[in-house]
Structure 1
Amino acid sequence: MTQIQLTDTQAVVLSAACARDDGAVFPVTAKLKGGAVGNVCKSLLKLGLIEEIPATDLNTVWRYDEERGPITLRATPLAQTTLGITEAETTTKAAETATAPVQRRKGTKQEALIEMLRAPGGATIEEIATALEWAAHTVRGAMAGPLKKKLGLEVTSEKVEGRGRVYTLK
């Protein structure tokens, strides 16, 4: 199973939840501004490290569901494993999350970028920027961020005489 990388904020929120007997995420003790708590919780939900349960205390409500009523969050066994609190145990939800293929929307610029990089001969920054109507720095950022870090794709480059640096996906 792949190891889950957590940001410092995610680790603090998750550690506090795992330290509680009931595993409750709320109240969040970390000093976070604006919508940061919501963003951290959404990312932890997506990773399967926390889960939604019916809230019994109205001071710990995460959201309201029309069918289930007030909902709160608690740490999952995967959270304790990720933080090294317990030995590795594979839960069904965690296993599904780890092995589920990434779903991409059709007709997006990201999809067009991937197609250009997979095309025979690859593509240069200038070609991609022109086709997608992006600035060169946006193309480089898209390859480094979403493609490499989020989707785990390997972007390679080589200098081609008469064309410059050409990028391809392996």
Structure 2
Amino acid sequence: MSKSTQLTPTQHAILSHAIQHSDGRIEWFPDNVKGGARQKVIDGLFNRALITPEGKQGWCVAAEGYDALGVPRPVPQQPTSTFEAQLDKVIANAEGQHKQQAKGTPRTRANSKQAQVIAMLQRPEGASIEQIMQATDWQQHTVRGFFAGALKKKLGLELASDKVGDVRVYRLPKTEVEAEAGVQA
């Protein structure tokens, strides 16, 4: 276990079980941890960056969780398509340039909220702000800030929007990301 991260016996048991039995997904709690106590344990792990959200209501062990247990971090899987590989390069490159200015090394995750939102925006049907809010647990102003900051300023991507009925839908044309990755469209 890491000297800088002290875990309670319950936190240790939950993280260990997730790593050993469910590929890092938090799916088990000790029998004595129920209801509100479960949420407090989750909040404690999340506040210490030991777990990260996975999907709409799931959690998985973060890199810091592996470190706290002294367990080697899993090797990330290779993207399943060439386009996903190019997208990962664009995101990593943009984050790397930004982080070099702010000291330190970039920390990228293929399952980050940023990658999740970009994937939603690349769908042919795009995504509404409400859909992104549900998927990320962000508030409306956070989604709009992400559009302006991370997508437009940081990554230099253009966002298209259309009104479908009463809902505004945002899309990130694949050609934008492919152009950023150096692919001829």
Whether TM-score is above 0.5 comes out as no
Q: TM-score, normalised by structure 2?
A: 0.36
Q: TM-score, normalised by structure 1?
A: 0.39
